Amino acid sequence: MLKVLITDDEKQVRMGLRMKIDWEEEGFEIIGEASNGKEALEWLRTMKTDLVITDMRMPIMDGLEFAQCCFEEFPQVKVIVLSGYSDFEYVRGSMQKGVKDYLLKPVAPDELEEALRKIRKETEEEKKKQAEAAQMRHLAMSHLQEVQEQYLLYLVKEEWTKSSMVKERLRQLHLEDMASDSREFRFITVEIRDKNEQALRLRELWLPFQMMCKEIAQAEKGLYPFYDPSYANMIHFLKVIDKEEDTLPSLVRDIQKNVQNLLQLETVVGLGSVVEGVANLKNGYISSLLAWSKSQLGPRSQIMDASHLQEDDFEFSSDMERKLMNAVETANLGLFKANLETLLGRNEAQSIMAFSFLSNRVLFLLGSAARKYDMETSEVQSMMWGCQQSIWELNSFPKVIEQLTELGQLIIEKVRTARFSNGKLIIEGVRQYLDQHYANEISLTFLSEMFHINSAHLSETFKHQVGQNFSDYLLNVRMEKAKEFLKDKQLKIIDVANLVGYSNSGYFSTVFKKHFQQTPADFRQSYEENIGRI
């Protein structure tokens, strides 16, 4: 229903307009009345209104003056002006911006209905265009921002070892402020909840919520949003800490205020512990999830802070991570169980938070292995979610260990199957890794170490299965990605080079031309010319 305000200094005229037609049938709802333009403006400042029907002659502020003020302050509100016969030509010749129609008093019901139908049709078309424009803005989101988000998720969820490669990739993605070993970070997890607990409404408002988070991040220095498919209705922010200016409290208030005012949704915020260096990003991310998990059920806004957690709660050595991953990769269930018992076995001195944190790290590690070998079946995803819920309960220690063991066993069985598949499943995992991490510095030696397979055998098997050697395959992936990035006019050639793994734009252009027989600049120009003809 479109909201209507009737403005006239005569009460009888206002009552007469109410009775002339069936407003609800026409798709309108009269939400109030005003006796002059000044009252009408005050009403608009407090109530959402779509249409104002106003008389021409009124004390204090007449209809035309109101229309001008209304357009300046509320350009989205439409106005219909009513006038007597003596003023009709004057009004028609002095139409203000924002005035959609003018009617001669006394207003005939059929003329009023016709004017309202025009307004409703125009409003519906505007809303449709706005929705299409919002969708286009979403589809046209900067490729750079999209790749940044994907890389942040990779850093907090996946297996990576060489910090030098990570730092170089951060610089390529214009995330230089994260590359320093002494840089401190904090994660913010934001979940949306509907006060009436309507899942459909959350799905409908998910895209506007994402866009709002991106806009908030663009206005805040050192704030990067990303989405983790493992957690529904959540957006996560990585905040690069500025020790001289702590904007976190006001930032969190702004997020909650905007979501509540614009989307009428509640938010539950989990504030992670401060961590230092990119090597500890997984710790910081898990701490924000643990903070969020301590929130109360129900649709009300909350802020949960994990800053009180001690550093001892985040002891997960890189050595233990390698042992667990090696046990999975070599399909050694006995070794996996032994390492899991060492890490999570009964320890009277271990805190609940430490156990929850370590359990999450193991869960992340198993999830990374599942994605690496393309094992994210519905069975694996269901087991991972069940284990995650048990971890959040904070009092189900034997159950968590049992579920992690079962999940590890399932993934290890799938790894064993992959290793006895004549290399087909292993090579598919390698190919998918190249598709996802094409911009990294990847060598045959690196891949052989990551997938625990002899480099000569990997090279031969890859060429047999895929039809080309891994370096040619990687080059093709990079060049096809480069073509997609070049279609985005916001990206410079050097940006595109960086996005696909080349630090030197000149060398990138040489490789691109050799591959496609035209330079990146020529490709972009021909693409734009072809689009212009459509």
Share of the chain above pLDDT 90, in %: 48
Contact 169, 243 (CB under 8 A): no
Strand ranges (E), 8-155:
28-34, 51-55, 78-83, 99-104
pLDDT digits 0-9 by tens, 31-60? 999 999 999 999 999 898 999 999 988 999
pLDDT category, 91, cuts 50, 70, 90?
low
Q: Please, which pLDDT band fits residue 346 given cuts at 50, 70 and 90?
A: low
Quick one: DSSP state of residue 55?
E
- Please give the structure tokens belonging to residue 116: 């309202």
Displacement of CA 196 from its chain's centroid (Å): 23
C-alpha of 134 from chain center: 14
CATH of domain 2-138: 3.40.50.2300
Amino acid identity, residue 338? A
pLDDT of residue 239: 95
For residue range 456-478, what is the model confidence (pLDDT) as tens digits? Answer: 989 999 999 999 999 999 999 99
Report the residue count for the chain. 534
Tokens at residue 230, please? 């493992």
**Mean pLDDT estimate for the chain:** 87
Residue 476, burial from CB neighbour count under 10 angstroms (0-12, 13-18, 19+): middle
Are 392 and 293 in contact, with CB atoms under 8 Å apart? yes
Residues near 184 by Cβ (< 8 Å), separated by ≥ 6? 240, 241, 243, 274, 275, 276
Element (H, E) at 287: helix 281-293
Cα separation of 530 and 294, whole Å?
54
Distance CA 273, CA 255 (A): 19
Residue range 147-309 in CATH 3.30.70.270:
yes
- Answer yes or no: is pLDDT of 19 > 80: yes
**How far apart (Å, rounded) are the C-alpha atoms in residues 459 and 470?**
7
pLDDT band at residue 292 under the 50/70/90 scheme: very high
Residue 518: alpha-carbon gap to chain centroid: 35
Check residues 102 and 337 and name the one with the higher pLDDT: 337
Name the CA dihedral angle for 499, 504, 508, 510, rounded to a multiple of 10 degrees: 170
Pick from 220, 171, 362, 188: which is nearest to 287 by CA?
188
Tell me the pLDDT tens digit for each residue of 496-514: 999 998 989 999 999 999 9
Q: 311 exposed, middle or buried (CB, 10 Å; 0-12, 13-18, 19+)?
A: exposed
Q: What pLDDT does residue 354 have?
A: 83
The whole-angstrom separation of Cα 16 and Cα 37 is 19
pLDDT value, residue 140: 44
How crowded is residue 437: how many other Cβ atoms within 10 Å of its Cβ? 20
Residue among 240, 307, 228 at smallest CA distance from 272: 307
pLDDT band at 245 (very low <50, low <70, confident <90, very high): confident
Mean of the pLDDT values across residues 416-445?
85
Whether the upstream peptide bond of residue 249 has omega within 30° of 0, thus cis, is: no
Domain boundaries, the chain: 2-138, 147-309, 318-419, 424-533
DSSP state string for 313-359: GG---HHHHHHHHHHHHTT-HHHHHHHHHHHHS--TT--HHHHHHHH
Written as one letter, the residue type at 93 is G
Tell me, what's the pLDDT at 373?
Answer: 81
- Name the CATH superfamily for 424-533: Homeodomain-like (1.10.10.60)
* CA 90 to chain centroid: 52
**pLDDT number for residue 313:** 57
